[in-house]
């Protein structure tokens, strides 16, 4: 038995629009930061600032991946995808998680190289510090805006992209500390800060990658959500019980299979109506894409 409510369709549209809007803001910010950081890095002689500008440029790739997934995940079911295209979001979350891992490992590698074989630092102008601090503020504000939009839309993909922006803020923090260290005569601060931030980025990337991988392998919903589904089904008049309740994630949506027990003397129509009402209530109250019910007479 399939049931998709108008409210669910409306939520999906709102979610898609929120994702598009927040990601386009991220694209605009990253373009501006890339231009300003690379230009200021060249003018001030800060290699760290140039590297951070290139990092901002690579973030545009992640933004366009999110835009692509956000667009395609909202498509209706078709002959090849009977349950829709929600897993585009999970795949994008996996890509973003792996990207964070790669960024973090790269930061650890570069920091290790500088600690083992510190290179002599040239004269860095104070302008580099101002631009680096401005980038830090811009990226932190971007992170907070994107995270708020992601939580409102309840999108794991947008949450992953928001934390990708936070990794950029951490990168700008490392660059700022490194510039301060260079200006003060202590370039080792750059490497120490990079090690700490690199570990944080690797941890975040691993968590997102692991979660996305589990979702692609049909992971069940949380215990809290499972109990919610049970309570909703149990509240329907005519439901004598249920068993074999199974759930799996489909992007940020849920697919449910359940056997509903009804009075053995009830007609087929009565049993159908009871199961239909159970599916409707679950779909109306939770982000459920489909409820497959089987009627068992008792």
The enclosing domain of 282 has a CATH number of 3.30.70.1350
Asked whether residue 26 carries a pLDDT value surpassing 80, the answer given is: yes
Tokens (6 digits) for 100: 């964070």
Task: Look at residue 255 in the predicted model and tell me its pLDDT.
Answer: 92
Q: In terms of domains, do 228 and 250 share one? A: yes
One domain for residues 201 and 150 = yes
Rounded to an integer, what distance in angstroms lies between the CA atom of residue 32 and that of residue 51? 15
Which tokens hold the place of 152? 């409102």
Are 175 and 103 part of one and the same domain?
A: yes
Same domain, 236 and 147: no
Determine what percent of the chain is predicted with pLDDT higher than 70: 87
pLDDT, residue 56, reads: 76
- pLDDT tens, 86-113? 778 788 878 878 887 887 788 788 777 7
Q: Determine the pLDDT at residue 198.
A: 72
Q: Which domain holds residue 183?
A: 6-216
Shared domain check, 169 and 110: yes
pLDDT at residue number 4: 47
The reply to whether 20 and 47 lie within a common domain is yes
Residues 232 and 174 grouped into a single domain: no
Average pLDDT over residues 206-226: 87
The pLDDT assigned to 208 comes to 79
Residues 104, 126: one domain?
A: yes
Whether residue 25 is contained in a domain is answered as yes
Instruction: Give the pLDDT confidence score for residue 121 in this predicted structure.
Output: 52
Cα–Cα nearest to 146, from 44, 297, 22: 22
Residue finishing a domain among 183, 216, 249 = 216
State which of 216, 247, 266 marks the end of a domain: 216
Query: Could you report the per-residue pLDDT of 127-156, keeping only the tens digit for each?
Result: 888 888 898 999 899 999 988 888 887 777
- Answer yes or no: is 1 within a domain: no
Q: What pLDDT was estimated at residue 190?
A: 61
More confident residue, 13 or 80: 80
For the sheet containing 253-262, what is the strand order? Answer: 241-250, 253-262, 288-297
Question: Residue 279 has what pLDDT?
Answer: 93
Bigger pLDDT: 171 vs 8: 171
Mark whether 152 and 253 lie in a shared domain: no
Is the domain of 198 the same as that of 113? yes
In a domain, 57, yes or no: yes
Q: CA-to-CA distance for 170 and 193, rounded, in angstroms?
A: 9
Q: Quick one: 22 and 70 in the same domain?
A: yes
Domain final residue pick, 197, 216, 235: 216
């Amino acid at each position: 038995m399939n049931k998709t409510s108008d409210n669910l369709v409306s939520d999906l549209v709102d979610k898609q629009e929120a994702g598009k809007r927040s990601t386009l803001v991220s694209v605009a910010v990253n373009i501006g930061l890339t231009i300003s950081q690379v230009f200021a890095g060249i003018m001030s002689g800060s290699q760290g600032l140039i590297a951070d500008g290139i990092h901002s440029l690579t973030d545009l790739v992640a933004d366009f991946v999110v835009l692509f997934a956000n667009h395609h995940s909202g498509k209706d079911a078709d002959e090849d995808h009977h349950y829709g295209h929600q897993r585009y979001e999970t795949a994008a979350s996996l890509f973003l998680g792996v990207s964070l891992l790669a960024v973090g490992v790269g930061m650890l590698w570069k920091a290790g190289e500088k600690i083992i074989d510190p290179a002599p630092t040239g004269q860095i102008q104070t302008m580099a510090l101002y631009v680096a601090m401005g980038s830090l503020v811009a990226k932190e504000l971007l992170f907070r805006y994107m995270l708020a939009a992601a939580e409102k839309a309840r999108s794991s993909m947008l949450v992953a992209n928001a934390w990708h922006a936070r990794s950029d803020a951490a990168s700008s923090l490392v660059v700022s500390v490194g510039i301060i260290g260079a200006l003060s005569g202590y370039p080792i601060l750059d490497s120490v800060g990079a090690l700490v931030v690199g570990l944080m980025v690797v941890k975040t990337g691993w968590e997102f990658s692991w979660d996305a991988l589990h979702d692609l392998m049909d992971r069940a919903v949380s215990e809290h959500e499972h109990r919610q589904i049970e309570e909703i089904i149990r509240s329907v008049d005519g439901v004598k019980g249920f068993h074999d309740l199974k759930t799996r994630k489909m992007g940020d949506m849920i697919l449910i299979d359940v056997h509903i027990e009804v009075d053995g003397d009830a007609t087929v129509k009565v049993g159908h109506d009871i199961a239909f009402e159970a599916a409707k209530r679950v779909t109306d109250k939770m982000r459920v894409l489909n409820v497959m019910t089987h009627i068992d007479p008792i």
